[in-house]
Structure 1
Amino acid sequence: MKIGQNGRVVSAFAVVFLAAASAFTLVWPAAPARAEVRDKWCKGVHLRFFVGGAEGDSFGTVVYKGAKQAERDLGPTVDYIFSGWDVERMIQQLREAVAVKPDGIAMMGHPGDAAIMPLAEEAASAGIKMMYQNVPVPKVIARFGGGYVGAQVAQLGRALGAEVVKRAGLKAGDVAFMQGPFENENRGARERATIAAMEEAGVKVIKINSYPGWAADPNLALPVITAALARYPEVKAVGYGGGQMLGNVPAFMQAAGKKPGEVFNFGVDTSPQVVEGFKGGWVQLAADQQPFLQGYLPILSLCQQIVYRFTPISVDTGAGFVTPDNYKEIAKLATEGVR
């Protein structure tokens, strides 16, 4: 033992350690190099993206702009597929997409679980990453993976129906119309849920089933809508199963001899046409499902899965309601094709 200057006992080990420390300089391991921020980090990846509608339609245009923005930001090569909202055409195009064997496919869910399932299996066997947008396909995702970007359609539909009852002041015995693709198991869940919520309030809801081509050209629905309004002049509210139809409300109402605000018109999505409908007093309520994100996020997720081996992302893009009180807040963005 050795007595230190402060009177404490210092062990022989400590003396040796202090001596060694004075003879050597301790060197700590260098910090790992910081990863560089990468530009166009998805470059070289080949994707196919289903826009859903025809080129230039109001909803499909916003989806397309979102996807193009992701392509520009991230750098993949993207083939864009337009289907005119024809589910049989979508399935044929998906079959062709899987055969090409891109790195990833972003698919609209409109054809439904049963129709997509065998092609999803083929894609999985070929190592093709899948994402789905706009209409959920939970059975496909549960079996073969992938993510979903879009509103949860049944939840959105039920919320819309309850909001219509409240804002339109509907009571038991009142009559309303609801237009939509009711026979489509997955896609029609939104309109079926809207009807269920309204019927729970005692409203009599009359279904107007969609015909092929209405989404691409809403004017094809003019004879059906006007005939229904003529047959049921007491109707208080009319619902539409998509932004294209909702944007055509002034034409429907004027053809039926109705004035702005005489019928409570509601539906889903915003667009420049829908904004004009609000401005003119023709449209009273729209549920916003942010289609720009339905374009951008599937491409982002596919790139993340392919380049970084991340798991797929799933995002509910249902954002709430657009009304005569707040439509001006998004009017400019709708004109720019972002909302």
Structure 2
Amino acid sequence: MKATIKTLGTLMAASLMAMTTALVPIQASAADQERFVLISHAPDSDSWWNTIKNAIREAGDAVNADVQYRNPTNGDLADMARIVEQTVASNPDGIIVSIADFDVLKGPIQDAVRRGIPVITINSGTQEQSEALGALLHVGQPEYDAGYGAGQRAKAAGVSHFLCVNHYITNPASVERCQGFADALGVDLSGNMLDAGSDPSEVERRVEAYMRQNPNVDGILTLGPSSAHPTLRYLERSRKAGNIFFATFDLSDQIAAAIKDGHINFAIDQQPYLQGYMPVIMLSLYHRYGLIPANHMNSGPGFITADNIAQVEALAGEVR
């Protein structure tokens, strides 16, 4: 497994290096600096997006483009839609946007396409939704499939009663993760998904209350650091860490340490660096030469376990 991951990582690194090298002469040929805007659904408190911020900065440097990051401060999707509208009105050379809610964002994104602004969707949403919006392509992780894959691993480990800690329940993609996990276990999601909120103390409190009311829970799924960190604190404080199957989406320094300690079984890695870096490169190629890949890009899911954590933990929060 280690050899396979190392080989894939080497190939990906080589591909990115080759692409970046190929773009060196493009920098010199660009008459004006391009301006691209990435709009996410994440609140300011969500540190997971720091990797994507780092990726768009490095990709912008590679192609000599001005790449800006915008988001709703509190994660409000109506506010996100307004940010998309404002960005469209500013007429950038390209927009990168997460499909946090298809119905809420449909109008502003399709308006961008009608105006001739190239759009690439990332992270949340599906490839089918991306096509329906008129985007060039989608770079992300199929959320239901990722949840289902995690659920298969949990089922193989003997999990039968689970809790999905959802810190962003207004995002339909987050529910897809929980639903896939439930379906793989053959369990009804109803009653097993917790609306935990986004405040760390509140997440920890709600998880503790749920676990007290449901002592038969033998498996927990969290949807990212915002819910994983408080859940981990509760499990460690109650001395249940390592005794309950615990899987989470995404990676952080704290999650990496918990995997090494045996307190988290695995993290589902959607490789956010790719979600930030590749769209910038693709938009630049499209803007300058009309070139765009023919297929969507699945950036995940990958699974980070105790077997391969040493290969990625040093880069957590930066590239992984």
Q: Which band: TM-score by shorter chain?
A: 0.7 to 0.9
Question: Which of 134, 142, 146 is the matching residue for 1:152?
Answer: 142
1:292 is aligned to 273
In the alignment of these two chains, the number of paired residues is: 293
1:269 is aligned to 250
RMSD between aligned alpha carbons? 2.5
Instruction: Find the aligned partners of 2:266 and 2:134 in 1 and give their Cα distance.
Output: 37
Any conservation in 1 of the 2:77–2:104 contact (CA below 8 Å)? Answer: no
Question: Which deviates more from structure 2 when the two are superposed, residues 276-285 or residues 58-67?
Answer: 276-285
Question: Which of 182, 194, 216 is the matching residue for 1:208?
Answer: 194
1:306 is aligned to 287
Instruction: Find the aligned partners of 2:45 and 2:113 in 1 and give their Cα distance.
Output: 32
Question: Which of 149, 172, 186 is the matching residue for 1:199?
Answer: 186
1:223 is aligned to 205
Any conservation in 2 of the 1:40–1:73 contact (CA below 8 Å)? Answer: no
Q: Percent identity?
A: 22
Instruction: Find the aligned partners of 2:141 and 2:66 in 1 and give their Cα distance.
Output: 27
Task: Tell me by how many angstroms 1:74 deviates.
Answer: 0.8
Task: Tell me by how many angstroms 1:287 deviates.
Answer: 1.0
Task: Tell me by how many angstroms 1:244 deviates.
Answer: 2.8
1:130 is aligned to 119
1:176 is aligned to 162
Question: Which of 91, 107, 111 is the matching residue for 1:101?
Answer: 91
Any conservation in 1 of the 2:203–2:231 contact (CA below 8 Å)? Answer: no
1:3 is aligned to none
**Alignment pair present for 1:236 and 2:223:** no
Task: Tell me by how many angstroms 1:204 deviates.
Answer: 9.4
Instruction: Find the aligned partners of 2:232 and 2:265 in 1 and give their Cα distance.
Output: 12
2:4 is aligned to none
TM-score (norm 2): 0.83
Tell me the amino acid that sits aligned with residue 118 of structure 2: K
TM-score (norm 1): 0.78
1:325 is aligned to 307
Tell me the amino acid that sits aligned with residue 88 of structure 2: V
Distance 1:203-1:114 versus aligned 2 partners, 3 A rule: closer
* Deviations, residues 71-108 of structure 1 (Å, cap 9, x unaligned): 11111112211334432221121111112111111011
- Where do 5+ consecutive residues of structure 1 fail to align? 1-34
Paired residues for 1:36-115 under 5 Å: 37-39=25-27, 44-55=33-44, 57-83=46-72, 84-110=74-100, 112-115=101-104
Task: Tell me by how many angstroms 1:196 deviates.
Answer: 1.0
Instruction: Find the aligned partners of 1:113 and 1:52 in 2 and give their Cα distance.
Output: 12
Task: Tell me by how many angstroms 1:62 deviates.
Answer: 0.7
Instruction: Find the aligned partners of 1:209 and 1:272 in 2 and give their Cα distance.
Output: 25
Question: Which deviates more from structure 2 when the two are superposed, residues 202-211 or residues 272-281?
Answer: 202-211
Task: Tell me by how many angstroms 1:55 deviates.
Answer: 4.8
Any conservation in 2 of the 1:176–1:204 contact (CA below 8 Å)? Answer: no
Any conservation in 1 of the 2:40–2:80 contact (CA below 8 Å)? Answer: no
